[in-house]
Amino acid sequence: MSSTELRRTALDATHRALGATMTDFAGWDMPLRYGSEREEHVAVRTRAGLFDLSHMGEITVTGPQAAELLNFALVGNIGSVKPGRARYTMICREDGGILDDLIVYRLGEAEAGSSHYMVVANASNAQVVLDALTERAAGFDAEVRDDRDAYALLAVQGPESPGILASLTDADLDGLKYYAGLPGTVAGVPALIARTGYTGEDGFELFVKPEHAVGLWEALTKAGEGAGLVPCGLSCRDTLRLEAGMPLYGNELSTALTPFDAGLGRVVKFEKEGDFVGRAALTEAAERAASQPPRVLVGLVAEGRRVPRAGYPVVAGGEVIGEVTSGAPSPTLGKPIAMAYVDPAHAAEGTEGVGVDIRGSHEPYEVVALPFYKRQK
């Protein structure tokens, strides 16, 4: 991607004032880290972290047939999502290849007989998702609207996040479950408050108007001072999601894979009403996965200190048996970890003799079940 015309979020000046190291992420100039990414990671695991995620792509879908459109366009059963709840789902091509993974929030009814959804796509795929939804909307009484510039997105993640947010809002956070969202007021500004995240911790994502982003960031920073909240960049977001075993589009997910190849066949709901894009190909993919199991997404934990990176071959007995999709030093485990697709014969937890080819040297790795980290509730 060309770096000539990077997009900047509403919090750009705030990041620079904090001395952030910035990076080009999907055409956006985003904070990579403010200080040590390892300390930011630990803050989210033990206290709280504040993220700017305004690069994420919001698409609003409304109308009397909004649910029918989303049921047709996506692989999940969006019709069964109740107002105020959210669903992790995917959008696939006709051939079953994954175009993106998404969170769909069902908001309250704007008017009788019309429903209202917000689809949140990855920054790198937002245009693709918008184009696909727009094209697939033909014939449905529903409107697809590009709302990427209508929202800034801030996230507060970590065990201290409920207390920090509670000091700034009257919204019923105790009643807000994981994967739920409700409109409210935070620090005096209107926000969609969602209990979602990508860190493996409890936390909230706050969708607000861009002009309210700086004030909200400052209010959260002040409210979190005593609890040890720190600003966090995309670098620690990546290690947090990796420890939590969450896939990242472009690493674990791509158009070359169906949800069944990614071990996420559960997101495909064949039993829902009506046809949907990719149904025939995905039916075949499900049958293929059952009769000839594809490579399995597993966790790898290093015995040494060298870090596996995306694209490195996984080896056993001198043969290549898989490929690393994401790898990083894990701050929580204190060892390098990776996610990798490996042949089923080598995918069982504790399989002996598996290694990663790290620039020519075969380093031993332990095969483990995902996730690497699960928070204590």
CA-CA distance, 71 to 57, in Å (whole number)?
A: 20
Q: Quick check: 328 binds other proteins (CB under 8 A)?
A: yes
User: What does the buried/exposed string (b/e) look like for 196-217 if buried means 16 or more CB atoms within 10 Å of the residue's CB?
Assistant: bbbbbbbbbbbbbeeebbeebb
Least spacing, CB of residue 344 vs other proteins, in Å: 30
- Exactly one of 1, 13, 16, 21 binds other proteins (CB under 8 A); that residue is 21
Name which of 307 and 324 has its Cβ closer to other proteins: 307
Count of residues engaged in binding other proteins, rule: CB under 8 A: 16
CA-CA distance, 304 to 367, in Å (whole number)?
A: 14
> Other C-beta atoms within 10 Å of 225: how many?
10
Q: Which of residues 174-213 bind other proteins (CB under 8 A)?
A: none
Distance of alpha carbon 240 from the chain centroid = 11
User: Site mask, other proteins, residues 22-61, x = CB under 8 A?
Assistant: ----------xx--xxx-----------------------
Least spacing, CB of residue 247 vs other proteins, in Å: 19
Reduced to 3 states, what is the DSSP secondary structure of residue 136?
helix
Q: Quick check: 288 binds other proteins (CB under 8 A)?
A: no
Q: What are phi and psi of 157, to 5 degrees?
A: -130, 145
User: Site mask, other proteins, residues 334-353, x = CB under 8 A?
Assistant: --x-----------------
Least spacing, CB of residue 161 vs other proteins, in Å: 23
Name which of 7 and 306 has its Cβ closer to other proteins: 306
Q: Quick check: 239 binds other proteins (CB under 8 A)?
A: yes
Q: What is the DSSP pairing of strand 296-302 with strand 335-342?
A: antiparallel
Instruction: Please name the residue ranges forming H helices in the chain.
Output: 12-17, 37-46, 66-73, 126-136, 161-166, 213-224, 234-243, 279-291
Q: Quick check: 307 binds other proteins (CB under 8 A)?
A: yes
Q: Retrieve residue 188's tokens.
A: 């005096």
Where does this chain bind other proteins (CB under 8 A)?
21, 32-33, 36-38, 235, 239, 305-307, 309, 328-329, 336, 359
